[in-house]
Structure 1
Amino acid sequence: MAQPLSSDLEKQIIEVEEQLRLAMLTSDVATLDQLIADDLVFTNHLGQIMSKQDDLAFHQAGLCQFQTIEYSERRIQPIGEQMVVSVEVQWAGLYSEISFQDNLQFTRLWQRSPQGLWQVIVGHSSVIQSNIH
């Protein structure tokens, strides 16, 4: 049976999700460093497994400039002391000066660090196919 989500916990997760969105949008590596667990396992929409160091290096390199990152259809589900977030993301920008625009579905597992901060420990993204019948 699913645990009920308290409004306080929901607000906390919505807040860290927004911090993550803004940090990705601006490639704010310091904030990303705080929001991502050291032992992150992230599978991106290309099927590549990335670590925290890979993700931070991606943003530090400056090859990708996000112009928009918009969230919709967010679902938050507590699992024990962790929180699962599933969110639809529409993003656009430039990668190596080539424009892109994608609709993705992200799933993230948030857990508290020993210091009490919410951090992403596991993540996955998939491309949303608009022409599936």
Structure 2
Amino acid sequence: MDTKQQIEALELRLIAAMKTSNVPELDVLLADNLIFTNHNGHLVTKQDDLETHRSGNLEIYSIDTSAQLIEVLNDTTAIVSVVKDLSSDYDGHISVGIFRFTRVWHNSGGQWQVVAAHSSQLVS
């Protein structure tokens, strides 16, 4: 499997883990030093993200992917840009919209993890 195929598979694992709030899987896929800027401009750490899933305050109803672009820079870095049609409930607030996510995957010691991510809401 080439690097692009590996990243495609990891993206599928990440979305599946997000949908089911699979904290152990998210813990593996997200780097400890994750920097994530959400669509509100707030900085979210790995621990923040895991706690959101662990607490049950987040329920993702659906995530549909389109316009995925994967750029492999080298054996250790890949960038993903993807559009997601997302509906969720976060702490009692329903959110429905179309978002563009950019994720940076880094391979350290043979393990790919998300080290940085950003989301922007395109349509609400």
> TM-score, normalized by length of structure 2?
0.93
Q: Separation in 2 of the partners of 1:120 and 1:40?
A: 7
- Does residue 33 in structure 1 map to residue 24 in structure 2? no
More strand by share: 2
Contact 2:100–2:122 (Cα < 8 Å) also in 1: yes
CA shift for structure 1 position 71: 1.1
Q: Separation in 2 of the partners of 1:120 and 1:77?
A: 14
Q: Separation in 2 of the partners of 1:129 and 1:70?
A: 14
Query: In the alignment, which residue of structure 1 is the partner of 2:3?
Result: 9
| Secondary structure of 2:41 counterpart | coil
Match of 1:93 among 88, 91, 99: 88
| Secondary structure of 1:85 counterpart | strand
Q: Separation in 2 of the partners of 1:84 and 1:67?
A: 26
Contact 2:97–2:123 (Cα < 8 Å) also in 1: no
Contact 1:37–1:113 (Cα < 8 Å) also in 2: no
Cα displacement string for residues 32-76 of structure 1 (whole angstroms, at most 9, x for unaligned residues) = 000001111110001001111111011111111101111110000
Match of 2:107 among 102, 112, 123: 112
Match of 1:74 among 55, 68, 74: 68
CA shift for structure 1 position 15: 0.3
CA shift for structure 1 position 99: 2.4
Q: Separation in 2 of the partners of 1:49 and 1:93?
A: 19
Unpaired runs of 5+ residues, structure 2, are none
| Secondary structure of 1:15 counterpart | helix
Cα displacement string for residues 80-125 of structure 1 (whole angstroms, at most 9, x for unaligned residues) = 33000000011112223332211100000001132x1210001000
| Secondary structure of 1:70 counterpart | strand
What is the aligned length?
Answer: 123
Highest CA radius of gyration, 1 or 2?
Answer: 1
Percent identity for Structure 1 against Structure 2: 39
